Structure 1
Amino acid sequence: MSKKKWSQAVTETSDAMDLKRDVFTLHDPRRIALSLKKSSEASHRRKSSPFRSAMSMLTFYINRGGKGLDERQRKILEQAKDELRVAFDRPRKA
């Protein structure tokens, strides 16, 4: 049995929300964003707004959990940030 990294454990067992299995491996930024939106809105354990919880989990995964991401998947996850802003009707970053 291999020892899990702390970041993997956080991603899999976040107290903020229950994520769809393998959500960060999807290849469609919009599907990733909508899945995170659905998970964050359904959660009753999160400590901040659904948007902030979803964006925080995505950013956390990109920065820590996805340390070994290939460039293609990293780009997809970065695009998912913009899609998450659209899904929550938030202004896009310039």
Structure 2
Amino acid sequence: MARKYSKKASTDVERVMKKRKAGTLKSGRSGRKVKSRKQAIAIGLSEARAKGRKVPKKAAKKRKAAKKKTAKKSKR
């Protein structure tokens, strides 16, 4: 089976996790310190996407698309 994420994306996430552990990782506009492990991973993946690395689309978008598809089928 093929890898979901590229190796470069993994290194981006690893770098962000180290920043989080050191206490220097800050979130978007607010600039607050990131304490959550999940949020740190999300930031790393987001940065990897921005660099054009091989990273799957966000899960929320997939779910939303699936809901629309089922809604269209039920109307018919």
Common fold, TM-score beyond 0.5?
A: no
Quickly name the TM-score band, shorter chain normalised: 0.3 to 0.5
Larger radius of gyration: 2
How does the TM-score come out when normalised to structure 2? 0.34
